[in-house]
Amino acid sequence: MSNKEEEFVVGADGLDTDREKDIGQHIGYRYDVNLVPDLKFITPFLQKYIDKMGWKDLNWLEDVHMGYEEDQAAVFDRNINGWVTIPDSIKLPDNQQERDMIARELLIKFQMSENHPMVDLNNAYRKF
């Protein structure tokens, strides 16, 4: 096991299946892809976002979880096809559901920001 973030997500050795034991490494996503969200942990910002969008639950954010990149907690941004790292200054809870809600909130703030890489790409390549 290389670091504590990876250990938090995939367990002590990260090797569950026979195939993983055979090759000595974890295979698959860097988070529990099948974990359904627990809405009792929703943050006020996320509630404001889903109200604005007219949804009754987390909608696409149900598939957003906190994983890891290198040795730091991170969330995958599908709009840039890459991991976005959570700064060390943000203290993370030990509960995956709460961590996921933090990941969702940060991802929305990042995606909706004028600093997001999609803004430049949009300006450069948008056809209509």
Partner 1 sequence: MAKLKQDKSHEMGLHEEQLKGRTQQRFFSIDESENLTYFHSFDVDTSKSATIDALDMTPREINREIRALMEKGIGNITVDNPMSRHGVGVGILNRLNLTFSDSLGYFGCGLIDGPNVHIKGRVGWSCAENMMAGTVVIDGNAGSTFGAAIRGGDLVCKGSVGARTGIDQKGGTIIVGGKTGAFSGFMMQRGRMIILGDAGMNLGDSMYDGTIYVGGEVEDLGVDCVPGEMTELDIRYLTEKLGNYGMKAPNGVEKMQKYVSGKTLWNYDNLEPNEKKLIL
User: Which residues, other chains included, contact 49 with Cβ-Cβ below 8 Å and sequence gap of 6+?
Assistant: 108
28-67 binders of partner 1 (CB under 8 A): 28-29, 33-34, 36-39, 45, 48-49, 52-57, 59-60, 62-63
Q: Among 25, 43, 47, 95, indicate the residue that binds partner 1 (CB under 8 A).
A: 25
- Per CB under 8 A, 91 contacts partner 1: no
- 39-45 contacts, C-beta under 8 A, 24 or more apart: 41/95, 41/97, 41/98, 41/100, 41/101, 42/101, 43/101, 43/102, 43/104, 43/105, 45/105, 45/108, 45/109
Distance of closest approach, residue 13 Cβ to partner 1, in angstroms: 15
The answer to whether residue 71 forms part of the interface with partner 1 (CB under 8 A) is: no
What is the helix (H) or strand (E) element at residue 111, kind and residue range? helix 96-111
Q: Which of 1, 2, 82, 93 binds partner 1 (CB under 8 A)?
A: 82
Rounded to the nearest whole angstrom, what is the least distance from the CB of residue 89 to partner 1 in the complex? Answer: 7
- Rounded Cα distance between 120 and 70, Å, is 27
Which residues here bind partner 1, judged by CB under 8 A?
17, 19, 23, 25, 27-29, 33-34, 36-39, 45, 48-49, 52-57, 59-60, 62-63, 69-70, 77-78, 80, 82-87, 89-90, 106, 108-116, 118-120, 122-126
